[in-house]
Amino acid sequence: MQFTISQRFYFDAAHTLQREIEAAGSRRIHGHTYHAEVSVSGPRDPANGMVLDLGFLRLRLEAVREQLDHHLLDEVPDLGTPTLENLCTFIATQLADVHPPVNRVRVWRDALGDSCVLDVL
């Protein structure tokens, strides 16, 4: 049997973005509350009944959150342009050594109704 477990976190951050639509507001420094969910899939370990200890995943996500929360995303090393797509990729990359591996990262902004899902293959 295959199980999928997930853990969510949020962070508040500012950024700028160069774009064609809604350009004026996007070019100025502005902020959002972002939400992220990370999923891991695999079989249960027969010894403990878990795919992955969620406490371990929470610790790892807190380390990722610290890199993003109350930061100017334009200045976060290895993030690139602060898009939802790049945030998904950044989070997945920060968790590349988790086992079983992260198979999905979702980042969204409730206030705007925007979201992005990265299915890690």
pLDDT at residue 98, as a whole number? 96
The tokens describing 37, both together, are 């969910």
Alpha-carbon distance 71 to 93, whole Å? 19
CATH class of 3-119: alpha beta
pLDDT reading at 80 higher than 70: yes
pLDDT tens-digit map of 20-46 = 766 666 677 888 999 999 999 999 999
CA distance 103 to 114: 21
Q: DSSP class of residue 110?
A: T
H/E stretch holding 108? strand 102-109
- Average confidence (pLDDT) over 61-81: 97
The 10s digit of each residue's pLDDT in 87-121 is: 999 999 999 999 999 999 999 999 889 999 999 97
Give the other-Cβ count within 10 Å of 42's Cβ: 17
Distance between CA atoms of residues 117 and 66, nearest Å = 21
Give CA–CA dist 92/4, Å, rounded: 16
Enumerate the domain spans of the chain: 3-119
